[in-house]
Amino acid sequence: MGLHRLTHVTLATPDGTAAAAFYDQFGLAPTGADRFASADGGEQLRLVEDAHRRVLELGLGAADLDDLDGIADRLRARGLPADRDRDTLRSHEHATGIDVVVTVAPRIRSAATTAAVPNRPGANTRVDERAEPIDREGPVRPRKLGHVVVGSTEPEVTQRYFTDGLGFLVSDEIPGIAAFLRCSTDHHNVLVQGAPVTYVHHTSWQVDDVDDIGRGAHHLLDGDPGRHVWGLGRHYLGSNYFWYLRDPGGTFAEYYADLDVIEHADAWTPRRVTDSRALFAWGPPPPLEFLAPSDLGVSA
């Protein structure tokens, strides 16, 4: 598959000014009016004011122009839209209304961090000194946009668009509910779930480690505890630590760290999980708000 990353996401949000202030505090760097960059992924978030919060556009990065040709052929063979100009492929997922834009993009290359090995019983690697994370200063800066989770009124249609149409691979499944889809070496880049209305459930942003998840959430909750949604916990599918915060429009923003990476599809065995592990390995109980956001007008 020629795709190798998410490039950007454009979110519709009811109050652009309030949302912009939130994502600034979240740690993304403003690059213009309602545009934000991650530390390693470049400009990855665009905000557009609209009463109906949803994903307007999702950008995907491919290796070269031949990949755009191949994906366009694949879409057209399935009767799906594919408009190609010299360096861009534009498509559209009709159930969610998401515009998909595929361009040739550089791979995201993150400088390696040098995290200390934690002290463990019988294996104290840090002696006579304090733990490095407690003295970290300055804001958390998310490295990149990791994944986007959307609600669709026709989840099977939307999921097939990403798998059959664009060539995403299935990493794990919650049968009948959702599948974790990847277009990169990350465990998942897109997840589609059924919903009474089209909406964006959350975007997820990679930080260095679990301490930076905690530091980022602490910063957002300091003075506005109502932003808390769910965390700290660890997902079973994807293995990542998580903490979800609520933006002013009701869309969740997730800090994540230590996600599974899949470089060899034949070495990875997808799992089909039907019990509580579908949601998490450990953490506080997921709140109803996470499972059925109140602004959708329905209960779980």
| Residues in contact with Fe ion by the rule CB under 5 A | 204, 254
Cβ nearer to Fe ion, comparing 204 with 206? 204
Count of CB atoms situated within 10 Å of the CB of 167: 17
Kindly state the smallest distance separating residue 144's Cβ from Fe ion, in Å. 14
Cβ nearer to Fe ion, comparing 36 with 180? 180
Kindly state the smallest distance separating residue 202's Cβ from Fe ion, in Å. 6
Count of CB atoms situated within 10 Å of the CB of 175: 10
Kindly state the smallest distance separating residue 205's Cβ from Fe ion, in Å. 10
Contact in structure between 223 and 173 (CB atoms under 8 Å): no
Cβ nearer to Fe ion, comparing 36 with 230? 230
Classify strands 228-234 and 178-182 as parallel, antiparallel or unpaired. unpaired
DSSP character string of 167-236: --EEEEEETTTEEEEESSSBS-SEEEEE-SS-EEEEEEEE-SSHHHHHHHHHHHHTT-GGGEEEEEEE-S
Cβ nearer to Fe ion, comparing 98 with 253? 253
Cβ nearer to Fe ion, comparing 7 with 206? 206
Kindly state the smallest distance separating residue 235's Cβ from Fe ion, in Å. 7
DSSP 3-state assignment of 290? helix
**Nearest Cα to Cα of residue 192 among 205, 166, 206, 174:** 174
Cβ nearer to Fe ion, comparing 34 with 254? 254
Q: How far apart are CA 55 and CA 52, in angstroms?
A: 10
Kindly state the smallest distance separating residue 155's Cβ from Fe ion, in Å. 16
Cβ nearer to Fe ion, comparing 75 with 280? 280
**Nearest Cα to Cα of residue 40 among 150, 246, 214, 186:** 186
Cβ nearer to Fe ion, comparing 96 with 204? 204
Kindly state the smallest distance separating residue 17's Cβ from Fe ion, in Å. 26
Q: Which residues of 72-96 are buried (b: 16+ CB within 10 A; e: fewer)?
A: bebbeeeebbbebeeeebbbbbebb
Kindly state the smallest distance separating residue 38's Cβ from Fe ion, in Å. 16
Q: In the chain, which residue ranges form alpha helices assigned H by DSSP?
A: 16-26, 65-77, 155-160, 210-221, 288-291
C-alpha torsion 201→184→47→15, nearest 10: 20
Kindly state the smallest distance separating residue 266's Cβ from Fe ion, in Å. 26
Q: How far apart are CA 105 and CA 57, in angstroms?
A: 16
Using Cβ positions, the residue closest to Fe ion within the complex turns out to be: 204
